[in-house]
Structures are given as C-alpha cells and as structure tokens.
C-alpha cells in the first residue's frame, strides 16, 4: 500500500510532512493546498524533497482508516506519520527518534498491541464504514472492493487540450519534443495523459494556454452538456472554472457563457485562466442574486450544475475527503435546492446537466428523482448519443472501470 520513499528521510522533511498532516487531519484542510502552501513558503526545498514530503503525506492518507483506528481520534500529524513509517517498515524507533519524533517508542508499542484482525474490511480498504455499506448495496461487494482499490491509487496527470489554441496532435508533438512521455486519453478526444508528474508551469504548451490540467472524467462531464457555438450557457457551480473553460472551448468562443458561484474567491481565479486560454467574453456572477436569476429566467440554452458533494469519486486526488464527516441528507437537500434554482434559467427545450463527483446514489440518482418528481416539465434528454460506455445518460464514470475520477452526470431536457 505504501510507495517506496524517493530518498533518505531527514529531520526537515519529517517536520514538513508531520506539519502538513497536522493541518490536513486536525484542521480539516485540503492536502494538495497545504503542500502547495508549504512549498511556496519553503522555496529552498528541491524537487526530490518535495516529492518525498508529498509521498509521505499521501502514503498516510491512503492508509488513513487503519491508521486512525491504531492512533485514536485525537492523535497528532506526527503520530500518524510515525505509525505509517513503522507499519510500512520504512523506519524503526531509533530512526524516528533521530528524526525528532519524541514518542517513537509509544507508537511502536501501540502498533504492537493493535489487533489487526479486528479491523473491518472497510477500514482495511480505507473506506468509511457507512460509505462501504452503501457501496456494497449499490455496486455489490466485488465491485466495491475494486472501487476502493482504485481510489487508493495515485491518479495520473490528465491534461485537456484547449481546442481554442491547439489540437491534440500539436500538444502530443510539443510534449514529445520536450522529452515528456505522453499519450492520448482513451475516452476524451481532448485528453492527453502523462504517466509521470511534471511541473506544469515549466511546460511551454501550458504557459501558452494549449493545455489545462483536468481529469479525463471531468472533461467528459463538461462535454455531456453538448455545448454548441452560439449558445447561451451557464455554468451554475463554476468554482474556479475548470469546466467553464472546457465548455467555452466546445463553444469555440462563440455565444454567451456565464460562470456563476457563491464563492467569490473561487470565481476570481477564473479570469486569468480564461485569458491564458484565449476564451473571450466570459461573464461572471456571484450568487445568490435573486434579482438576476429572476431577470434571466427561461433564457438559457443549457445549464451545468456541478454540485457541491462528498467528492467520493475523487479520493485518488483528494484522499483526505474520506476522513470528513458525511451528512448525506443535508448534502442531498442542498443539491436539490441548487438544482431547482438553476433549472429556472432554462428555456423550453433547453438542457440541464446535474453532475457530481460523488459515487453515492443519495447524491445522484436520488436527487434527480426528487427533482423530476417536483418538475414534470423536465425529462431525461432523449438526444444524448449512446456512443460509448462513457457517454451514456446518465454518465457514470468509475475509477476501476474507466481509469478516471468517479463522476455522475444526468442530462435533462425542459419540455
Ligand atoms: C464541485 S465544485 C465545482 C467545481 C467546478 N465546476 C470546476 O470544474 O472546477 C462545487 C461548487 O459549487 C459552489 N456552490 C455551493 N453552493 C452553491 C450555490 N447555492 N449556488 C451556486 N454555487 C454553489 C461551490 O462554491 C463550489 O465552487
């Protein structure tokens, strides 16, 4: 389960990994953001040290359920890290003490006393018990095991080719010329997959706006909206605009595209990305804005609702999300409320895509069912091409089957 360490561990890296884990586990912060912040504050760290700290942090998070059972709820980042290294045989107590771990002997004892056989299958698979039970009901035990195993893998680097600026063939050629291994993604025609991590900012084709990092599943989800040049489209939960940019490219920069979100800070990250991508004419709006919604009612050709969710389909990239408390009824109620508001924007005959990166039916099929029960003027869109397993309606992407993050997307049409 734990990846080999890419070099010898020294006290500064030990402290860095333990500090980041403390923020992720006990302050409920996102691992990738904490790592980015740490590296930005310690610019002297070389790429090998950064890789080492990242490997340690993600190694702990990919074994989090088991480590939590051993460490106990209130343990520090240092305790999790020590247990992880001891359990993986990557350090002994003397090494840990030399690194600065004050309680190495205590954690070694805790590990020895722990009854591994008492762990549930869910904890061994690194899945919270309630989610494991729901998945077993939904997918069966065999698929649940395969899903959990896939979600514990490191995700590849997927890039979306920005067709406003380049073709996939041009991007592949540019990467090859730069000596970077890359291949065409199997499911999305705009996807280029890199088997190894690279510092994107160093790539010419990134700096020129030819590519954006985006999971292949996210690319398919944006495509599920069927955006056409000249249409009037809203991305209702746009965030920092990953899918907005993909929709804008599908519209070939022609038409009217709105990015909406309640989070002003996320929306602010979109204009520079749009500029780099040469996506002109994008309009932003912070919600809630009842007056604006009322004025725009019935005027959009298509609306994407990429709803806030548990993120259970993205545990490869955000493994810490599995540690967060999950209130499914509250999430589903929020998702339904957002979908109902967004639906008012659609003209008759318009397309509404409800999407999440959750693999739980309570956040997906159940929300669609509740929405349709209250909105007889919406129906499943009969015009979605049934071209491939990854392009059905609803779109259901599973990491163990499709090799991308897990997503659900259902396209509805207003009668
Ligand atoms: C899954 S994220 C969207 C990710 C984004 N579409 C992307 O591709 O990067 C969900 C977004 O919904 C936003 N959100 C939450 N409640 C909302 C609401 N009531 N109306 C609109 N957006 C909302 C959050 O701020 C968050 O940015």
Over residues 352-370, the pLDDT tens digits come to: 999 999 999 999 999 999 9
Q: Where are the domains of the chain?
A: 11-117, 120-152, 157-213, 217-414
Query: Which percentage of the chain shows pLDDT scores above 90?
Result: 89
pLDDT value at 404 more than 80? yes
Q: What average pLDDT does the segment 180-191 reach?
A: 95
* Site of tokens 């669609």: 368
Q: Note the pLDDT tens digit of each residue in 45-88.
A: 998 899 999 999 999 999 999 999 998 877 899 999 999 999 99
Asked about 357 being catalytic, the answer comes back as yes
Neighbours of 199 (CB within 10 A): 9
- Using CA atoms, how far residue 356 sits from 170, 246, 333, in Å, is 32, 16, 14
Q: What pLDDT shows up at residue 255?
A: 97
Q: Do the beta carbons of residue 328 and residue 260 sit within 8 Å?
A: no
Joined tokens for residue 119: 């762990």
pLDDT at 3: 66
Distance CA 209, CA 134 (A): 41
Whole-angstrom CA distances from 379 to 226, 227, 287, 298, 363 are 16, 18, 26, 16, 18
More confident residue, 215 or 7: 215
What average pLDDT does range 381-408 have in this prediction? 89
**Residue 22 dihedral angles phi and psi, to the nearest 5°:** -60, -45
Q: At what angle do helices 31-41 and 11-26 cross, to 10 degrees?
A: 140
44 or 26, which is more confident: 44
Tell me if the pTM is above 0.90.
yes
Q: Is the CB of 363 under 6 A from ligand 1?
A: no
Ligand 1 neighbour 273 (Cβ under 6 A): no
CB 49 less than 6 A from any atom of ligand 1: no
CATH homologous superfamily for the domain 217-414: Vaccinia Virus protein VP39 (3.40.50.150)
Per-residue confidence at 1, pLDDT binned at 50, 70, 90? low
Torsion angle of C-alpha atoms 298, 299, 302, 303, degrees rounded to 10: -70
To test the pocket of ligand 1, the residue of 237, 343, 355, 364 to mutate (highest count of ligand atoms within 8 Å of its CB) is 237
How far away, in angstroms, is 241 Cα from ligand 1 center? 9
Tens of pLDDT, residue by residue over 5-41, are: 777 889 999 999 999 999 998 888 999 999 999 999 9
Query: Is pLDDT at 390 greater than 80 in this prediction?
Result: no
Residues 111/83, Cβ–Cβ less than 8 Å: yes
Minimum CA distance residue for ligand 1 atom 27: 239
Name the CATH superfamily, with its identifier, for domain 157-213: Sun protein; domain 3 (3.30.70.1170)
Q: Is 287 in the pocket of ligand 1 (CB under 6 A)?
A: yes
Q: Kindly give the number of the ligand 1 atom that is closest to the alpha carbon of 235.
A: 6
| pLDDT tens, residue by residue, 145-183 | 999 999 999 999 999 999 999 999 999 999 999 999 999
| Whole-number Å distance between alpha carbons of 411 and 379 | 9
- pLDDT for 5 equals 75
pLDDT for residue 386: 72
Beta bridge partners of 410: 354
Look at ligand 1, atom 2, and give the residue with the nearest C-alpha.
308
Whether 246 lines ligand 1, by a CB cut-off of 6 Å, is no
Question: Which is catalytic among the residues 34, 101, 237, 357?
Answer: 357
Residue nearest to atom 25 of ligand 1 (CA): 263
* Residue 2: pLDDT band with limits 50, 70, 90: low
């Amino acid at each position: 389960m734990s990846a080999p360490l890419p070099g010898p561990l020294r006290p500064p890296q030990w402290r860095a990994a333990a500090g980041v884990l403390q923020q992720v586990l006990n302050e409920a912060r996102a691992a990738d953001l904490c790592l980015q912040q740490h590296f930005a504050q310690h610019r002297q760290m070389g790429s090998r040290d950064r890789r080492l700290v990242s490997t340690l942090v993600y190694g702990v998070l990919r074994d989090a359920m088991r480590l939590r059972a051993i460490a106990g709820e209130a343990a520090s980042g240092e305790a999790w890290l020590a247990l992880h290294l001891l359990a993986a045989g990557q350090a002994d107590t003397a090494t840990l003490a030399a690194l600065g771990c004050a309680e190495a002997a205590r954690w070694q004892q805790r590990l020895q006393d722990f009854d591994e056989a008492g762990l549930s299958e869910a904890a061994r698979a690194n899945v919270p018990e309630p989610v494991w039970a729901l998945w077993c009901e939904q997918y069966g035990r065999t698929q649940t095991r395969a899903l959990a195993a896939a979600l514990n893998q490191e995700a590849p680097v997927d890039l979306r080719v920005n067709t406003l600026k380049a073709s996939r063939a041009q991007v592949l050629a540019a990467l090859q010329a730069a000596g970077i291994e890359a291949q065409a993604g199997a499911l999305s025609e705009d996807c280029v997959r890199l088997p190894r991590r690279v510092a994107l900012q160093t790539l010419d084709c990134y700096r020129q706006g030819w590519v954006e990092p985006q999971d292949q599943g996210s690319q398919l989800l944006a495509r599920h909206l069927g955006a056409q040049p000249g249409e009037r489209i809203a991305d209702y939960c746009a965030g920092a605009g990953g899918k907005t940019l993909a929709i804008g490219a599908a519209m070939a920069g022609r038409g009217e595209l709105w990015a909406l979100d309640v989070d002003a800070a996320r929306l602010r990250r979109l204009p520079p990305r749009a500029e780099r991508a040469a996506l002109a004419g994008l309009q932003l709006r912070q919600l809630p804005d009842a007056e604006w919604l009322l004025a725009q009612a019935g005027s959009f050709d298509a609306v994407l609702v990429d709803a806030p969710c548990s993120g259970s389909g993205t545990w490869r990239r955000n493994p810490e999300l599995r540690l967060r408390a999950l209130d499914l009824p509250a999430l589903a109620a929020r998702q339904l409320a957002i979908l109902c508001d967004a639906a008012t924007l659609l003209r008759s005959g318009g397309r509404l895509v409800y999407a999440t990166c959750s693999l739980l039916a309570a956040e997906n099929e159940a929300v669609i069912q509740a929405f349709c029960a209250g909105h007889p003027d919406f129906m499943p869109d009969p015009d979605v091409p049934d071209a491939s397993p990854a392009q059905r309606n609803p779109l259901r992407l599973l990491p163990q089957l499709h090799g991308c993050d897990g997503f659900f997307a259902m396209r509805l049409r207003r009668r």
